[in-house]
Amino acid sequence: MRTLLLPLLLVATALLAEQDERACIDWLQRWQLELPAQFAGCAEEDDGAALYRVAAGQAEALEALLIRQFGMAPLEFRGSDWEPARPGYRRTADGEHRIVLHSTPTLANRREDWERLDFHLRISALPPS
């Protein structure tokens, strides 16, 4: 019985250590980027992505910046929200990161409606390749 429990205990310990290493990081602050987005914490899902609330009325300006600086595709209405066809990416000493701007679920399918929508920015650290 002990020989069965020891490997399980080692795996559980390794998983806990891995979770501790994946700290919640405000990437915009670390990169010293001032964008119209407020850090809101990190996702509880596996990737632990940094989440940001976009300042009201700033989605269009932020979209243009993310397209220019990180290669993100323009936002498109995808049936229930606005999201890019292709995320943006940034490579730093910390590794590679995926950058996505998106709206909360909505039926508003015209850009003219953006002023009244909530937008969020999500930055995910990609696993080393």
Report pLDDT digits (tens) over 69-116: 999 999 999 999 999 999 999 999 989 999 999 999 999 999 999 999
Task: List the one residue out of 96, 26, 33, 93 whose CA is nearest residue 68.
Answer: 33
Residue 63 burial (10 A CB sphere; 0-12, 13-18, 19+):
buried
The CA-based angle 18-19-24, given to 5 degrees, is: 125
Residue 26 burial (10 A CB sphere; 0-12, 13-18, 19+):
middle
Domain boundaries defined on the chain = 24-125
pTM for this entry:
0.80
